[in-house]
Each structure stands twice: as structure tokens, then as C-alpha cells.
Amino acid sequence: MKAIKWLDDHLEEYILVILSIFTVAIVFIQVFMRYVLGDSLVWSEEAARYAFIWMIYIGVSYGIKRNSHLGVDAFSMLFEQKGQLIIGLIANILFFVFAVVMAFYSFDIVERVTRTSPALQLPLTWVYAAPAVGMVLTTIRLIQKMTAQARALKKSGNQDSEKTIDLGDGAKEEVI
């Protein structure tokens, strides 16, 4: 159970840190080789690009987990706490539907890809799997967030004067 809790708390963070370090190292080595040694690596740009693609899709899930995606809240600010919770829940349900559709079609594309990358000779299945994995992680994080929002909505009927709502995992959403 501790391992599952650790994965829930840190999976995206560690993947993003590892991919970031890898990308920075590859780009640094490429720049050093090109401008200092006068030679370049054939595969470095491709490897950095693929790592960046994975970072983008894992980052979507991480943004959901940390409640750090940009959002327009002008409309929801017109409502009291309960209304804001309902609007947030509806927005997350729509995002969930989008993520499920994206994951479904991403898996379909992954099954059809048969090519390999030109420089690394890496099966492009690994590259096209990034949206599928990222959207599956996103759906998991959205389920967690919607569950916390539903609990907060249930609790808000009893506590309308509270200024922050606990969304789970230590994340709190301020209600204005």
C-alpha cells in the first residue's frame, strides 16, 4: 500500500525530472559537440524531441494533480461556493470525456504504427504511446479530482462560509 501511495504522490514528478535531465543533457552535449568539437550527433535532436513529447503528455496529468492548469474563472466567480464547485465539476467531467476519447484513439494509432525513427531506429510506437499513456494518467487524476470535488460539494451544503475547499492530496481551491 505504501508503494501505491508513493506512486500516486510522485510518479509524474520523477518521470518529468528524469525526462528533463535527459533532454537538457542531450541538448548540451549536442551544442558542445557542434560548436567546440566541430562535429554533431545524428540522433540527439530526435531523442530530445521524443523526450519532450513525453514530457508534454505526462505534464498534463501532473498539472491536473497539482491543480495548476490555466483556467478562466470570471464566470465561476459570479457564483457562491456551491455553484463554483458545480461548475468545476462540470468542467472536469468534460475534460474527462476529452481525455478518454484521446486515450481511445491514441491506443488505436499506437496499434497501427509500424515505422521506425530515422536516426535512432526506435519503433515509433514508443513515441505515439505518449498521448495514450498521458491521457490514461490524466483520466486517473481527473477521477481523483472529481471524487474530491463531489465530496467537497456534499460537505459544502453544511459549511457555506468556508473560504477554501480541500481537493485531496493537500491541494486546496480558494473560493471567492
Domains of the chain by residue range: 2-174
Q: Please tell me the distance from the alpha carbon of residue 47 to that of residue 120, in angstroms, as a whole number.
A: 8
Distance CA 159, CA 142 (A): 24
pTM for the structure as a whole = 0.83
d(CA 60, CA 167): 18
In this predicted structure, what is the pLDDT of residue 174? 59
**Stronger pLDDT, 77 or 136, i.e. the higher one:** 136
Segment 33-48 shows an average pLDDT of: 93
Confidence of residue 176 (pLDDT cuts 50, 70, 90): very low
Asked if 12 contacts 61 with a C-beta cutoff of 8 angstroms, the reply is yes
**3-state secondary structure (DSSP) of residue 164:** strand
Angle between helices 44-66 and 125-156 (to 10 degrees): 10
Contact 175, 77 (CB under 8 A): no
| DSSP calls for 129-155 | HHHHHHHHHHHHHHHHHHHHHHHHHHH
Given a cut of 70, whether residue 169 has pLDDT beyond it is no
Identify whether the C-beta of residue 82 lies closer than 8 Å to the C-beta of residue 158: no
Whether the predicted pLDDT of 163 surpasses 60: no
As a whole number of angstroms, the distance between CA 145 and CA 105 comes to: 23
Distance, CA of 14 to CA of 156 (rounded, Å) = 35
pLDDT surpasses 80 at 75 = yes
Contact 107, 115 (CB under 8 A): no
Give percent of the chain with pLDDT exceeding 90: 69
Q: Per the structure block, which three cell numbers stand in for 90?
A: 462540470
Higher-confidence position of 169 and 96: 96
C-alpha cell read off for 107: 491506443
User: pLDDT for 54-70, tens place per residue?
Assistant: 999 999 999 999 988 88
